[in-house]
Chains A and B, each alone.
Chain A
């Protein structure tokens, strides 16, 4: 488990490197990715914020889009047992830090453990590791990015969409998700010539509407908890593929917004690697 956490944190460091480099290449001073990485500590939303603002969008609208991406932390908190404190919910600084380091990785590792002490240990180890690696990578990346001036010649403008794409690929393997994502992308592209920057991305959300009308799937888990071992047809394949590439840190982190266990992917990954 420790090795898996270390590999995950290393991958976070690499994503942080590209985040910092992309932020300064997009015209932000170093302190923006540095402060964001510490204070927000949620990669996908930070990428989204930087992307919308760099395209000329309103920073408040960009923050709201980022919050939509981060809304998944609410079900995370619902799914976790009391792991932010030694006895029951923690108090004071422990509660605050423990809450702040709630992220995709720490939640996935915590849910994969069997007993409460194990869950707490995994949660804190991974949470604090990400708290160090994500900002560290972002600052390093920003320093490297500052040294490069002609970003087009080095293809740095292609890095940002490639990073986001790599992060959502695990989700896109689900056919329904792929279809709605493509529909959303098409809406955004069609709207780009006509709408102010930043809005086309938000307009893409209309693609979620058809999902609202679908019949809810049969839920087997107890109410109030995210099912821990959601078995999907692809979970076995994912774990198998993981076993084949244990030395690829970049392939390890699941999409940072996946609900752990809700689709079986995230949970299976850490289990499969053990």
Chain B
């Protein structure tokens, strides 16, 4: 971890901001009407952010390609998750696939 102060500042920002979101909805409840469409948009934005995080952490390392073992593991995990496998199975299968591929010499 490169800069502890900055990381702590980031953590504090995230914690305080999240609490503010939790509180403000309750305080606003009686005063404004919030269109459900806005909620759907927020949800879509969150899923997009996280899908992009999956793609970049699975396929890239720094500014380049991460190698085949990691995305192969993630793909196995994703297929299992799609077929409603238990969470623990998904995670262990992803790690095991990447580890076994590396053991076999695939990078």
CB distance A65 to B51 under 8 Å? Answer: no
Indicate if A236 sits at the interface (CB-CB under 8 A): no
Q: B10 contacts which of A60, A211, A241 (Cβ < 8 Å)?
A: A60
State A70–B93 Cα separation when bound (angstroms).
Answer: 29
A58-78 near B? 1/0 per residue, CB < 8 Å: 111011111111111111111
A154 contacts B57, C-beta separation under 8 Å: no
Contact B87 A15, beta carbon cutoff 8 Å: yes
A77 touches B38 (CB 8 A): no
With beta carbons under 8 angstroms apart, the residue of A153, A159, A185, A224 that contacts B52 is: A185
Given A39-B11, A64-B13, CB of A245 within 8 Å of CB of B24: no
B104 at the interface (CB under 8 A from A): no
Main secondary structure of the interface of B (DSSP, over half): helix
B80-107: contact bitstring with A at CB < 8 Å (1 yes, 0 no)?
A: 0110111111110111111110110000
Q: Which of A71-98 contact B (CB under 8 A)?
A: 71-80, 84, 89
A204 touching B87 in the complex, CB below 8 Å, given contacts A32-B7, A55-B57, A70-B18: no
Q: How would residues 202 to 216 of chain A score, 1 for a CB under 8 Å from any chain B CB and 0 otherwise?
A: 111101100110001
Q: How far is the CA of A41 from the CA of B46 in the complex (A)?
A: 17
Main secondary structure of the interface of A (DSSP, over half): helix
User: Smallest distance from the beta carbon of A58 to chain B beta carbons, Å?
Assistant: 7
Q: Contacts of A168 on B, CB cut-off 8 Å? A: 47, 50-51, 54
Q: Which B residue's beta carbon lies closest to that of A227?
A: B36
Report A157-199 CB contacts with B as 1/0, cut-off 8 Å: 1111111111111011000010011111111110011100100
**Would you give the 0/1 interface string for B44-68, flagging 1 where the beta carbon is closer than 8 Å to chain A?**
1111111111111111101110100
Instruction: Please tell me the size bucket of the interface on A.
Output: 35 or more
Find the A residue at minimum CB distance from B101.
Answer: A155
Q: Is A192 within 8 A of B23, CB to CB?
A: no
Contacts A/B (CB < 8 Å), 21 sampled: A35-B11, A40-B15, A51-B53, A53-B1, A56-B62, A64-B13, A67-B13, A72-B43, A75-B42, A77-B26, A102-B22, A155-B97, A159-B95, A161-B55, A172-B47, A184-B51, A192-B63, A201-B49, A224-B29, A257-B47, A258-B43
- B26 CB to closest chain A CB (Å) equals 4
Question: A158 contacts B18, CB within 8 Å?
Answer: no
- Structural contact, B14 and A63, CB atoms closer than 8 A: yes
With contact pairs A59-B9, A165-B78 given, residues A160 and B43 touching in the complex (Cβ less than 8 Å): no
A156–B44 alpha-carbon span in the complex (Å): 28
Given A36-B11, A72-B46, A77-B21, 4 more pairs with CB closer than 8 A: A42-B18, A45-B14, A224-B34, A262-B39
Other-chain contact of A14, B7, B49, B88 (Cβ < 8 Å): B88
The reply to whether A164 and B50 contact each other, CB–CB distance below 8 Å, is yes
Q: Which residue of A79, A159, A219 is within 8 Å of B91 (Cβ)?
A: A159
- Contact between A70 and B17 (Cβ–Cβ < 8 Å)? yes
Instruction: Report if A259 contacts B (CB, 8 A).
Output: yes
**Pairwise interchain contact A67-B17, C-beta atoms closer than 8 A:** yes
A213 to B13 alpha-carbon distance, docked (Å): 32
